[in-house]
Amino acid sequence: MIDYARYDRVRAVVFRDDRLRLLDQRRLPFEEVFIDCEDADAVAQAIADLAVRGAPAIGIAGAWAVVLAAGALGEVSAAQARVSLVPVLDRLNAARPTAVNLAWALARMRGVLAEAGDDWRARVRAEAESIEREDLAANRRMGAQGAALIAPGSGVLTHCNTGSLATAGFGTALGVIRAGVALGRIARVFATETRPWMQGARLTVWELQQDGIDATLIADSAAAHLMGTGQVQWVIVGADRITAQGDVANKIGTLQLAIAARHFGVKFMVVAPWSTVDMATRSGADIPIEERDPAELLTSGGRRTVAEGVRALNPVFDVTPAALIDAIVTERGVLRAPFDVALRGASASA
């Protein structure tokens, strides 16, 4: 049994007293400050600015934003609400393009609105609660399933932040790592810095420290060296979108980890809830890849580090082809190649 009170201490998205409180992830680890969002556009802005981030967390925040927008509508019928909420749903959907969880959560909210009657407000709120509750349950299930794949004494390496901060709680890849440590299977945990936003350095090792899990931070560029010297047996990452053939969009740098892992015979595991699977998109080439302001690369810790006049390019996700993946862990089970067949089977099992 996993002691969740010990291994899951942080909550980043909290709906209380008709407000959405978001732990401002730009200010961690040194300041734990919540942003109070009173309307849906404040949530859309927080998603675009990375105050809340991580694929499942932005889906959950988006769902709660619809509850806020519903609260602002006054006494209207379900039919009127369906029309009035379209622009705000569209603005939320546009906040970030790559993680399909945002569009998925908003589609669920639209679906409930489409069939609700006079009880539409209660139904919308209940749907947001379900999205959040189901995500936590999925993470706990995936944690146990993923940990079972790891041989005792293994070293693992993760990228970006996939923990409680990025989800309803416990985490996806970080949930597997938490479970693997709790069950005594993982001997070493390495986390990459994850430039330029430093999700690994600022968030992942901080989250693990709260749990009392011993983790070692490495520069992104040290990963292949660790694999080549036998310190890592599994690379374990999350996902922002998994296509029907099993290609995986995740934080920029994931692809080079997968290539190095295959070269050195290290196993590569992707952990994501079914809300990250996009069966309507066949190949990774069809996933929209977010490019952020190149200015994010020109400074470090708020200080400019690059000569004036230098150009930068800032794609923030990349696509790992299915062929480089050993296992995709979802709450519907552990999937293995051929992933198109496995995903189709899991899709039908809903």
Residues taking part in catalysis: 240
Binding flag, residue 267, ligand MRU (CB under 6 A): no
> Which of 145, 199, 233, 275: binder of ligand MRU (CB under 6 A)?
199
Rounded to 5°, the CA angle 8-9-10 comes to 105
DSSP output for 68-127: HHHHTT-S--HHHHHHHTHHHHHHHHTS-SS-HHHHHHHHHHHHHHHH--TTHHHHHHHH
Minimum CB separation from ligand MRU for residue 231, in Å? 22
Rounded to 5°, the CA angle 283-241-332 comes to 105
Residue type, position 301, single letter: G
The Cα–Cα gap between 245 and 238 comes to 17
Give min distance, CB of 99 to ligand MRU, in A: 6
**7, 22, 42, 53: which one contacts ligand MRU (CB under 6 A)?**
53
The residue from 40, 67, 156, 160 that contacts ligand MRU (CB under 6 A) is 160
User: What are the Cα distances from residue 90, in Å, to 53, 96, 102, 110?
Assistant: 19, 11, 11, 11
| Residue 277 binding ligand MRU, by CB under 6 A | no
Give the one residue of 23, 92, 166, 176 binding ligand MRU; rule: CB under 6 A. 166
Q: Does 320 bind ligand MRU (CB under 6 A)?
A: no
Using the rule CB under 6 A, give the single segment among 54-62, 63-71, 256-264, 277-285 that binds ligand MRU: 54-62
Is the Cβ–Cβ distance between 95 and 88 less than 8 Å? no
Q: Which of residues 215-254 bind ligand MRU (CB under 6 A)?
A: 238-240, 250-251
Shortest CB 117 distance to ligand MRU, Å:
35
Q: What are the tokens at 119?
A: 């009880």
* 3-class state of residue 305 by DSSP: coil
End-to-end CA distance of the chain: 26
Q: Is the CB of 73 or the CB of 134 nearer to ligand MRU?
A: 134
Our CB check for ligand MRU shows the closer of 155 and 169 to be 169
Is 181 in contact with 334 (CB distance < 8 Å)?
Answer: no
Site string for ligand MRU, 280-319 (x = CB under 6 A): ------------------------------------x---
Q: Which is nearer to ligand MRU, 84 or 326 (CB)?
A: 326
Candidates 92, 99, 136, 168; binder of ligand MRU (CB under 6 A) is 99
Which helix or strand (DSSP H or E) is residue 270 part of?
A: strand 267-271
Binding segment (CB under 6 A) for ligand MRU, from list 48-56, 119-127, 143-151, 212-220: 48-56
Q: Could you tell me the two tokens for 163?
A: 């923990």
Residue of closest CB approach to ligand MRU? 238
Q: How many CA atoms lie within 13 A of 290 on its CB side?
A: 22
Residue number, 95 or 124, with CB nearest to ligand MRU: 95
Which two three-digit tokens encode residue 33? 């400050």
CB of 268 to ligand MRU, least distance (A): 14
Residues at the contact surface with ligand MRU, assessed by CB under 6 A: 53-56, 99, 160, 162, 166-167, 172, 199, 238-240, 250-251, 316
